[in-house]
A and B are shown apart, each in its own frame.
Chain A
Amino acid sequence: RKEVEQDPGPFNVPEGATVAFNCTYSNSASQSFFWYRQDCRKEPKLLMSVYSSGNEDGRFTAQLNRASQYISLLIRDSKLSDSATYLCVVNLRRGGGNKLTFGTGTQLKVEL
């Protein structure tokens, strides 16, 4: 079983739609959680951190459920520019440092 599991998609949605991505992780000792965005042939970039209390950044809302080891990302009012791969990431602290473990990524295509 992979440490971080995501539906690879692709999710094809019309502009303006609301789309939700889910992710599960296997290591209950994971300490921090993130969503990264990766455009085609580019490096991953941090989209937002994820907290148990839930957090929102504009059209993006992230939620963490530690009991179920489940992370979600909600995108409202999708824009064409949201088309990218969304990587679910957990941080397992080891060796005195922070080891990020990435999911395979979920591909989003927003269409006219």
Chain B
Amino acid sequence: GAGVSQSPRYKVAKRGQDVALRCDPISGHVSLFWYQQALGQGPEFLTYFQNEAQLDKSGLPSDRFFAERPEGSVSTLKIQRTQQEDSAVYLCASSLEARNPSYEQYFGPGTRLTVT
């Protein structure tokens, strides 16, 4: 079946612009996660949804970052007034179940954001 998809795959933004990154999780997956991966680093947790509820947003680096999943399926990560330090790959992952810590998270291909 279809995996996690993300769009756009690449985004170049001028400093100060707002951007919106989209994630389509695997159908039926309850949990959805956003991660930020800087060059040469591992992914860093940003936020987590269980259905439409955002249960953990402790990893969002500033109030310029906002995520939503209004109908419990597609999610959007919005970054307002982008800064150069926001340049990274933004990865979305989904998981079938929320309660079992052993459930695999499936990652999308990521959106590579470059802020100039």
- B-chain residues with CB within 8 Å of residue A97 when the two chains form the complex: 31, 48, 50, 55-56, 98
Whether A32 lies near B101 (C-beta < 8 A) is yes
Known contacts A102-B44, A103-B42, A94 near B109 by CB under 8 Å: no
Whether B95 lies near A104 (C-beta < 8 A) is no
Instruction: State the main secondary structure of chain B at its contact with A.
Output: loop
- A-chain residues with CB within 8 Å of residue B107 when the two chains form the complex: 43-45
A17 touches B (CB below 8 Å): no
Q: How far is the CA of A19 from the CA of B95 in the complex (A)?
A: 31
Whether A102 lies near B98 (C-beta < 8 A) is no
Interface residues of B (CB under 8 A from A): 31, 33, 35, 40-45, 48, 50, 55-56, 58, 91, 93, 95, 98-105, 107-110
12 A-B contact pairs sorted by A residue (CB < 8 Å): A4-B42, A42-B109, A43-B91, A43-B107, A44-B107, A94-B58, A97-B50, A97-B55, A98-B103, A100-B45, A103-B42, A104-B40
